[in-house]
Amino acid sequence: MKTVLRLVLIPTLVFVARQTAFASAQPSNIAFVGGTGGTAGVDAFSAAFAQLPDGGTIVLRGPVRLGENYAAPAHAARVMITSVHDGKDYRAEGAMLGFGETFVLGGPTTFASITLAADSKTPGIFCEGHPVVFDNGVECRAAKDGRFPAITGAARDSRRSGAEITVDSGEWHTLSGGASGGSSGNLSVTINGGRFNGVVLAAGTGLHKGDATLTLNGGMFFGGVAILGNSPKAAFRGSATLTINNGVFFNAIAAARNASAAFSGDYALAINGGDFTSVTDVSGTRDLRGDATSTLTALPGLLDKRNAGTLTFTNPLIPGADPWVFFHDGFYYATATGGTQLAIRKAANLPDLPRAETVVIYKPAAGKPWSRNLWSPKIYHFSESEVGAENAGWYLYLSANDGSGRPSQGQRMFVLRSLSGTPLGPYGSATGKHQPHVATRVSAAAKGSTFNKNWCGGAKILKHGGKLYAIWVSEVGDEFSKNTGDRYQTINIDRLINPWTIEGKGVVINRPTLAWEKHGAGPGKRGMYPEVVEGGTPVHAADGTLYLLYAGSGYWTPHYAIGVMKLTGTDPMNPAHWQKATRPIFKASDEVVGTGNACYVPSPSGKSNWAIYHAYVGTKTRGVPRQLFAEPYIADDKGVSIGAGRPLPPGTPLKIEANPIPLRQKISGFTTAP
């Protein structure tokens, strides 16, 4: 998880003044709930509203739980809900307000100095168009799965229009000014503080008719900020204004999170301050459906300010297996093995990956040879000079099967082409009509090539000496082999004619020959287990020296480790030109095991290089998920080393320089911009 120290200057005068005004106007009526040693429920909480016909304060003196679905009684005057009264904070005695999937407010409401506890997997507070304030001192407790409450401003039906929300504190999942099913009227959201793990939306994911204003004076916005959410049906008709005065921002600042959304009217974004180190995109309305215009204004010099300093993070980063992370045009893109679909993340910094939005890039229909067990996806870009103008673009390689047998059974190599011309896809067939979510089988041109029949996995592309090569893993023997060693994997290489065709003259450049590569091989519950070498990833040192880093031993064992081969000659397809190190360069520690199948990326400024590998936390390799780790590596003419040769203990702070790209280079899609 990422841990970053950043200075955020929140303009406290704004909400302090508002608090003072409210305090002087609030009625003296008070209703107490709980505090008798037990847990109060719906009846006691609802009765408190009945005691305050002219508004007032509800003080929680103990735990209160509202159940899965609760609607507060209707009230016209403002009611404050708090756990502090007369200088005493009842939270010290267990005071809290627990609620489930829906907590519907019945009128103007203020939450202050209170603990809000999520008792459901999808907890939500629905303001129903009433003016609602989440004042200072709001603490939120997440549900068991880690999700914090979400806030929805507008009413979920047409009985009330508009919304007015102010947030000063608390930790939240998402915030939406509009309702998911659509809304109307004027939406106003002001955020002065708090943490938002999901996206903050001025409108929502449905159709909104009316104006929307989102003003951000401070807070942490991990999920990004937008007017419209990530739905192709999201639409906006009116004037939208997003003003950013301060805060720390991640992911995208956008008119809409979905490229198929519709926007009619105008969108104005004003950037006056904030920390945008972890922002990936700032986008207007140009590429959306509709006739909207969009205008960006910013303080002088803010757009061209380059980020400096370092970011601190700890391992593991995110769940996943067979990672593929690459750096392109100043941003990181990450994907990993999937079962029925593949997703990608885009991040400005490696430590941002846990917060990065996932975008589905490949979701095939069932029953096809490329439908299931989508292993070891790799994404590459081929230039016009490499494959010709017609074939230039982004390609996704993977191995897959139809899912009818065991996950490993019948794996073959497939390739897809990006249909958007960007790494974010979506991807479709590499040839013909480029059908979305349909893969093209990689085949060999030479007649009689065994490549077209053999088991295949772990495709990689090597660009070396002006030539293109495909590298993959194949297997000799099967689960019915009689003796240990009769079944083993090989790393193979062949020339690439075009993105979907190899020559068919491939050669084996590595097979298990060393003791450390053979752990896990032998008879087992599922027949004969193979000796394993896989995941051969090319790495060029600064002087051009070529290495192939691979994983050895069974991935199901703690002994899975990273080895290295060096090209000592000039021809990658000549096995004699490769020299294999006799020992692994990176292997298990006492706290992290199964270290392997890594990819290798530079830091944003190129000052350091990082290996991204998968491993298990602890000593078990069965029934526990693999996760992604990052550690620095060095490659030169003398060899390759990763960290200290073993994983650092989980939670160890690591530093990497911040991505220096200024905000201006992240801007697109505005009608008018500085």
CA geometry: angle at 377 spanning 371 and 383, to 5°?
115
Amino acid identity, residue 299? L
**CB 549 within 8 Å of CB 564:** yes
The pLDDT score that the predictor gives to residue 57 is 98
Write down the pLDDT at residue 156.
Answer: 86
pLDDT of residue 244: 98
Q: In what order do the strands lie in the sheet with 561-567?
A: 533-540, 546-552, 561-567, 578-580
DSSP letters, 446-473, are STT-GGGTS--EEEEEEEETTEEEEEEE
Q: 319, 626 in Cβ contact below 8 A? A: yes
pLDDT tens per residue, range 251-280: 999 999 999 999 999 999 999 999 999 999
Mean pLDDT of 222-231: 97
| Cα(321)–Cα(557) distance, integer angstroms | 14
> Which range is least confidently modeled, 262-271, 451-460, 546-555, 586-595?
451-460
SS (H, E, C) 17-36: HHHHHHHHHCCCCEEEECCC
* Contact (Cβ atoms closer than 8 angstroms) between residue 238 and residue 208: yes
Nearest-angstrom CA–CA distance, 610 and 616: 19
Is residue 209 within 8 A of residue 181, CB to CB? The reply is: no
Residue 28's pLDDT is what? 60
Tell me the mean pLDDT in the region 399-416. 93
pLDDT reading at 14 higher than 60 = no
Q: What is the pLDDT of residues 57-82, one digit of tens each?
A: 999 999 999 999 999 999 999 999 99
Question: CB-based burial of residue 516 (10 Å sphere; 0-12 exposed, 13-18 middle, 19+ buried)?
Answer: middle
| Mean per-residue pLDDT, 217-227 | 98
Predicted structure pTM score: 0.92
Tell me how far apart the alpha carbons of residues 621 and 103 are, in angstroms, rounded to a whole number.
42
Other C-beta atoms within 10 Å of 406: how many?
12
User: What was the pLDDT predicted at 36?
Assistant: 77
Q: Please determine, for residue 18, whether its predicted confidence score (pLDDT) is greater than 60.
A: no
Does the pLDDT value for residue 578 go beyond 50? yes
Assess whether pLDDT exceeds 60 at residue 25. Answer: no
Residues in Cβ contact with 306 at an 8 Å cutoff, skipping those fewer than 6 apart: 660, 661, 662
User: What are the CA-CA distances from residue 336 to residues 157, 227, 362 (Å)?
Assistant: 41, 30, 12
User: In Å, what is the CA distance from 406 to each residue of 373, 403, 478, 487, 621?
Assistant: 9, 7, 13, 17, 19
Judge whether residue 27 has pLDDT over 80: no
Q: Check pLDDT > 90 for residue 333.
A: yes
pLDDT tens profile 194-218: 999 999 999 999 999 999 999 999 9
Give whole-number Cα distances, 663 to 240, 349, 658, in Å.
21, 14, 13
Beta pairing, strands 443-444 & 501-502: parallel
Q: Is the per-residue pLDDT at 187 higher than 60? A: yes
Average pLDDT score over residue span 324-350: 98
Token match 């003796």: residue? 483
Q: Is the peptide bond before 63 cis (omega within 30 degrees of 0)?
A: no
pLDDT band at 19 (very low <50, low <70, confident <90, very high): very low
Mean pLDDT is lowest, of 8-17, 544-553, 599-608, for 8-17
Nearest of 575, 549, 577 to residue 563 by alpha carbon = 549
Looking at every residue in the chain, the average pLDDT score rounds to 94
Based on DSSP, count helices (H) and strands (E) in the chain, helices before strands: 3, 60
Mean pLDDT calculated for residue range 477-498 = 97
Q: Of residues 7 and 48, which shows the higher confidence score?
A: 48
Name the phi and psi angles at 516, rounded to 5: -70, -15
Closest CA to 460 of 363, 357, 546: 546
**d(C-alpha 19, C-alpha 58), whole Å:** 17
Which tens digits make up the pLDDT trace of 275-324?
Answer: 999 999 999 999 999 999 999 999 999 999 999 999 999 999 999 999 99
